[in-house]
Amino acid sequence: MPTDTTASTGQQAGASTGQQPGKSGRKKGRRGRLIVFVLVLVLIGAVAYGGYWSVSTVRASFPQTKGSITLKGLTGTVDVKRDGYGIPQIYASSDEDLFMAQGYVQAQDRFYEMDVRRHMTAGRLSEMFGESQIDNDEFLRTLGWDRIAEEEYEKKLSPATKKYLQAYAEGVNAYLEGKEGKEISLEYAALGFENDYRPGKWTPVDSVAWLKAMAWDLRGNMQDEIDRALMTSRLGPKQIADLYPAYPYSRNKPVVQEGQYNQLTGAYEQGESTGAGTGTGTGTGTGTGTGTGTGTGTSGSSLESQLTGLQEVLQDLPTAVGVNGDGIGSNSWVVSGEHTITGKPLLANDPHLSASLPSVWYQMGLHCRSVSAECRYDVSGYTFAGMPGVIIGHNQDIAWGLTNSGVDVTDLYLEKITGDGYQYDGKVVPFKTREETIKVAGGKAQKIVVRETNNGPLLSDRSDDLVKTGRKATVDSAAPDRGDGYGVALRWTALDAGRTMDSIFAMNRAKDWDDFREAATLFEVPSQNLIYADTEDHIGYTLPGKIPTRAEKHDGSIPAPGWDPAYEWTGWIEQDALPYEYDPDRGYIVTANQAVVDEDYPYTLTTDWGYGARSQRITELIKSKIKDGGKISTDDMRQMQLDNSSTIAKLLVPHLLKIDTEDADVREAQKLLEGWDYTQDADSAAAAYFNSVWRNILKLAFGHKLPKELRVKGQCVWVDPVNTTGPADEADKVRECGQRDADQAQPDGGDRWFEVVRKLMDQEDSSWWKTPKSGTRPDADNRDELFKRALIDARWELTAKLGKDIDSWSWGRLHRLFLDNQTLGTEGPDFLQYMLNRGPWKLGGGEATVNATGWNAAGGYDVVWVPSMRMVVNLGDLDKSRWINLTGASGHAYSAHYVDQTDKWAEGELLEWSYSEKAVADSTSDTLLLKP
């Protein structure tokens, strides 16, 4: 039987296909964003084997949680104590034993998930799932995450970190030793019907590579770069500027308001904001406002032709690699003891990620029985299955949380391809190339050639459409001749070897602010907002990361001409120049993907901040609690995480209630909004109707006017032909159908669209408010007429979806969460989906609310991203901290801990979070002894 090997890059395996870059020899059809691979053979095999799916098979992979197990390699005994939710707390007497046990225990619960992840990051999914994953593998091999991870491990990481990674891998492999697939996970039993795949040994590089996948998920504004460029096919510069308004500094404050940015030159005191951003333009200057950007050297049609193909590649990547779209983010905030009941800080965090089963997070405690030079850790929190250490959590002295900073660390470059090279600074430079062999379960191996420019890998080689359109792309007079065509290359900080893994361990053992700041300097990719609190009643914030500086012509807002040296990255922002805050006078710090700094900061961090709807609401909630000397409790922090208030509803509902409509049924629905408090609870009929109205406003005002590359696949509209000088006659209009997946299309309804509509509210006759008649629906020539049309359309949309009786309507009936196993549970035989998937849950919350159960307004109402976990750390008494996970500790479908936290998560409850030895002992249900 074939085994899973770690060799992949450049390996000769099977017959060569003789393919050239970009020529896969296969028709590039729809692959699906999810990992789709189950064949009819699986179903046939299940029937043929009959009793194979017995109780014993289902339970064969459940972990042993009691008694004792001997692990070769341990130097002392290790206790694994699990509470009633299966959450493990590990006690050891040396660092190596601690992390070896972490590897063993995580493999017990989650190895199948770990195995899929490592194949994904290495571009080796085809080895598990066959030909359906070749295209995904080609793209991920082109990025080369595993190659960078190997370089990090060999050349960048400290000896101590390497030792921990090795110990972790030994623990995983100790679990695998002697086990058949069905003894590891139910999914391997299913895979056994189709091929004889067997998992290979875990390596330290497998752990490091997962950081690249998370960095990709949080990579910054690459999607905005693509979208802005694609918009040029139908929209002019002023229209695009309307859809990317400046950040509202005067209303939504940045993270850092009283902080410093340069220890070498002294304090940088940030005063009140005086403007609203730099608007359009490409100069870096000193501005950080959001603008459309206007690059030079390439025409809109050239960019459009290239980026359409790139978007198709991106949207087909597995969900585990991340959602591409606006709106995804996270919340975290910290309040000093001055404003809390305990007199010590409280810290909250809830990262927003794609919903997955099992959850991306794994809760765990790592405890040295006695903290010393030989054993330095006493930390608890959220880990990644497949990586040692704790990513978010607390130790005995400090707590920390993360949100995505949104800093721009990716740039796309349009490259002029000439023969076997690319043009740069007037010369032809040869590509840096490597050959990759992709093994395919049940099929022949495939070979690809990866080409790189000085800006990075050529992503366009992974799409036949990109190659073809690149040859035909029009250019302006400032660009080089077309020649053999154009390509798209990616410059991204994560494609350089870094030291983020060192940072994880340094944070885990940090004792104070200085330790934490020093650890943060190693956190190079992805750049994150890091918030901090300690038991001595200090709070803080710091922005770490390897963040590029750019020349004056280039602000990173749109793809740049790679042949022009003026658009290169010029260096990195020095760590001492990155912003931070420590013990601000206001007594709290809020990070929710809003702008990090105001306009006076001397570097451009991005042109695409989140617009601050969530951060402003959190700030309002904190202020209301501490007004007149009020104090905040742990449960107050929890309640803030569950806030369902809609910012856009507060703006629009007063206007919607003024609209006169003759239709009695529409008036009946309109009355739902009277007296509504803008809270989007799951049982709210008003929330259901408002969100449908909002969705229809966006569709009528913007969606039908966007190019097909941004609209939902299959949704077709009649539009004026491109390059017409005025409105076309009805007979001349052309029918264009959308091309983007529903959960990635525009307008998605996030807080950027809040700001777009806010700025247009006073422009009642703006062309954006004009929409033609459709069937029996009236046309609209101004804002109020479009609002009336949206009220009508929403009424009949919900009648179709929820019934005519509005008393039966509720937001939760529309806004549902489905949890799907991201491999066999996506598109396989019904019996496997039934076994592996769970849901739906009817949820409150919504887009850009604090309780950010995100949905894409262009595509529908189902939940597409969620608070992937929630925690509140109480620095006054760590045992009174609280936490919850989206799913459960286990990845085994019929384990009691598969989704045993999800109901409580959906209801907004938090679990007790035991930390001290006594608290852990009191909450322990099962104890497993690991012996050397």
d(CA 121, CA 212): 7
Check residue 313 and give its pLDDT.
58
Residue with more model confidence, 329 or 395: 395
Termini Cα distance of the chain: 32
776, 749 contact by CB (below 8 A) = no
Check residue 280 and give its pLDDT.
31
Task: Give the C-alpha distances (Å, rounded to integers) separating 460 from 15, 85, 91, 473, 758.
Answer: 25, 46, 49, 13, 38
d(CA 206, CA 171): 14
Task: Give the C-alpha distances (Å, rounded to integers) separating 923 from 82, 195, 203, 289.
Answer: 8, 43, 34, 50
The total number of residues written for the chain in this structure:
932
Task: Give the C-alpha distances (Å, rounded to integers) separating 227 from 33, 451, 559, 599.
Answer: 19, 25, 10, 25
403, 330 contact by CB (below 8 A) = yes
Residue with more model confidence, 876 or 183: 876
Cα dihedral sign, 310-316-318-319: positive
d(CA 918, CA 923): 9
For residue 717, name the pLDDT band (cuts at 50, 70, 90): confident
Average pLDDT, integer, range 473-502: 72
Query: What is the average pLDDT score of the chain?
Result: 85
Task: Give the C-alpha distances (Å, rounded to integers) separating 111 from 42, 106, 283, 387, 612.
Answer: 21, 7, 48, 12, 38
Check residue 7 and give its pLDDT.
34
* pLDDT tens digits for range 663-689: 999 999 999 999 999 999 999 999 999
* pLDDT tens digits for range 756-806: 999 999 999 999 999 998 888 899 999 999 999 999 999 999 999 999 999
Check residue 306 and give its pLDDT.
52
Contacts of 390 (CB under 8 A, 6+ apart): 364, 366, 379, 380, 381, 382, 383, 504, 508
311, 559 contact by CB (below 8 A) = no
Check residue 279 and give its pLDDT.
32
* pLDDT tens digits for range 567-576: 999 999 998 9
* pLDDT tens digits for range 625-668: 999 999 999 999 999 999 999 999 999 999 999 999 999 999 99
Percent of the chain exceeding pLDDT 90 equals: 66
- Residue 55 CB-density burial (10 A; 0-12 exposed, 13-18 middle, 19+ buried): exposed
Structure tokens at 395: 């130790």
* pLDDT tens digits for range 230-243: 888 889 999 999 99
* pLDDT tens digits for range 156-182: 999 999 999 999 999 999 999 999 888
Site of tokens 């190019």 = 707
d(CA 369, CA 365): 12
Residue with more model confidence, 471 or 210: 210
Question: Which one, of 414, 409, 384, lies nearest residue 488 by Cα?
Answer: 414
Answer whether residue 722 shows pLDDT above 70.
Answer: no
Check residue 547 and give its pLDDT.
93
Answer whether residue 553 shows pLDDT above 90.
Answer: no
Average pLDDT, integer, range 502-525: 96
What is the H or E stretch that residue 561 is in?
strand 560-561
Which ranges of 462-535 does DSSP label H, i.e. alpha helix?
Answer: 464-472, 500-508, 513-520
Average pLDDT, integer, range 357-364: 95
Check residue 191 and give its pLDDT.
78
Task: Give the C-alpha distances (Å, rounded to integers) separating 352 from 226, 330, 393.
Answer: 22, 5, 16
Check residue 328 and give its pLDDT.
56
Answer whether residue 592 shows pLDDT above 70.
Answer: yes
421, 487 contact by CB (below 8 A) = no
d(CA 928, CA 427): 65
Answer whether residue 33 shows pLDDT above 60.
Answer: no
Structure tokens at 674: 């009277």
Range from 293-307, 533-547, 867-881 carrying the lowest mean pLDDT? 293-307
Question: Which one, of 389, 252, 260, 239, lies nearest residue 701 by Cα?
Answer: 239
Average pLDDT, integer, range 527-531: 93
Assign 3-class secondary structure to 400-463. Answer: EEEEECCCCCEEEEEEEEECCEEEECCEEEECEEEEEEECCCCCCCEEEEEEEECCEEEHHHHC
From the CA atom positions of the chain, what is the Rg in Å?
27
Residue with more model confidence, 2 or 206: 206
Cα dihedral sign, 88-89-91-97: positive
Question: Which one, of 91, 31, 530, lies nearest residue 315 by Cα?
Answer: 31
Q: At what angle do helices 613-626 and 634-641 cross, to 10 degrees?
A: 150
Check residue 555 and give its pLDDT.
83
d(CA 329, CA 593): 6
φ and ψ of 829, to 5 deg: -55, 145
DSSP-assigned letters across all residues of 29-55: ----SS-----HHHHHHHHHHGGGS-H
d(CA 17, CA 350): 47
Check residue 557 and give its pLDDT.
79
d(CA 827, CA 832): 9
Measured at the CA of 18, the angle between CA 13 and CA 23, to 5 degrees, comes to 115
Check residue 219 and give its pLDDT.
61
- Residue 790, SS3? helix
Check residue 463 and give its pLDDT.
67
Check residue 308 and give its pLDDT.
60
Question: Which one, of 322, 321, 303, lies nearest residue 117 by Cα?
Answer: 321
* pLDDT tens digits for range 65-116: 999 999 999 999 999 999 999 999 999 999 999 999 999 999 999 999 999 9
Residue with more model confidence, 397 or 739: 397
* pLDDT tens digits for range 827-881: 566 778 888 999 999 999 999 999 999 999 999 999 999 999 999 999 999 999 9
For residue 721, name the pLDDT band (cuts at 50, 70, 90): confident
* pLDDT tens digits for range 596-630: 999 989 998 998 899 999 999 999 999 999 999 99
DSSP-assigned letters across all residues of 567-600: GSEEEE--GGGS-EEES-TTSEEEESSS-SS-TT
Torsion of Cα atoms, 292 then 297 then 301 then 305, to 10°: -100
| Pairing mode of beta strands 446-453, 432-438 | antiparallel
